[in-house]
């Protein structure tokens, strides 16, 4: 299966210099893309490892998009990921103890749940609240989705994914 053909991602990170002047401190391709066996390409854009997040002043900051994470964000944190799904990808059912904000940037995608399916297309936004699901591209074109996962209180049902391959 070949990878979806999308324009390269550009990540722009802002901050403040020592004089508290707002500026761009990173601008370019994200540094952490993983290519999955299902043909998906998952690119971590940024993460935080606490709430409230650290946005301290300074130009010498950690590239929070370079961290190696599993599917879930760090405890009490969040993660932003862009995933490209090729047509006919091999889905994997999973559930995370997170609230997920899902944005379809391009294409169409189905989210299969335990006994139902919802189709999403470019411009659709979903709030996914810890449900068992998988992402399936049944169309003939690639789909690109942006995910914001925020750590949530455990539901105490089923088996949630806490690490491993990035599936969102």
Q: What is the CATH number of the domain that holds 122?
A: 2.60.120.10
Residues in the chain: 168
Report pTM: 0.87
Task: With respect to residue 161, please indicate whether it lies within any of the assigned structural domains.
Answer: no
Q: What is the pLDDT, as a whole number, of residue 59?
A: 87
Task: With respect to residue 156, please indicate whether it lies within any of the assigned structural domains.
Answer: no
Task: With respect to residue 166, please indicate whether it lies within any of the assigned structural domains.
Answer: no
Task: With respect to residue 122, please indicate whether it lies within any of the assigned structural domains.
Answer: yes
Higher model confidence: residue 154 or residue 144?
Answer: 144
Q: Please state the domain count of the chain.
A: 1
Q: Which of 83, 127, 72, 130 is nearest to 109 (CA)?
A: 83
Task: With respect to residue 1, please indicate whether it lies within any of the assigned structural domains.
Answer: no
Region of 78 (left: φ > 0; alpha: ψ -120 to 50; beta: rest) is: beta
Q: What is the pLDDT, as a whole number, of residue 65?
A: 94
Condensed to tens digits (0 to 9), the pLDDT of residues 90-139 reads: 888 999 999 999 999 999 999 999 999 999 999 999 999 999 999 999 99
Q: Which of 63, 77, 69, 70 is nearest to 11 (CA)?
A: 63
Condensed to tens digits (0 to 9), the pLDDT of residues 18-66 reads: 999 999 999 999 999 998 877 889 999 999 999 999 888 888 899 999 9
Rounded Cα distance between 46 and 62, Å, is 10
Task: With respect to residue 3, please indicate whether it lies within any of the assigned structural domains.
Answer: no
Q: What is the pLDDT, as a whole number, of residue 37?
A: 78
Rounded Cα distance between 57 and 53, Å, is 13
Structural domain of 93: 11-151
Task: With respect to residue 133, please indicate whether it lies within any of the assigned structural domains.
Answer: yes
């Amino acid at each position: 299966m070949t990878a979806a053909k999308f324009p390269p991602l550009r990540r722009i990170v802002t901050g403040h210099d020592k004089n508290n002047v707002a500026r761009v401190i990173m601008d370019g391709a994200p540094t952490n893309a993983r290519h999955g066996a299902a043909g998906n390409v998952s690119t971590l854009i940024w993460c935080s490892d606490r709430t409230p997040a650290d946005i301290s002043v300074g130009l010498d900051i950690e590239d929070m998009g370079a961290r190696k994470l599993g599917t879930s964000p760090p405890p009490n944190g969040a993660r932003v990921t862009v995933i490209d799904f090729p047509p006919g990808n091999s889905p994997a059912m999973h559930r995370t103890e997170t609230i997920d904000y899902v944005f379809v940037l391009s294409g169409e995608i189905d989210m299969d749940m335990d006994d139902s399916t919802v189709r999403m297309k470019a411009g659709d936004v979903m709030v996914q609240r810890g449900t068992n699901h998988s992402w399936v591209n049944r169309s003939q074109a690639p789909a690109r989705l942006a995910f914001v996962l925020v750590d949530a209180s455990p539901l105490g049902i089923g088996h949630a994914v806490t690490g491993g391959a990035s599936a969102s």
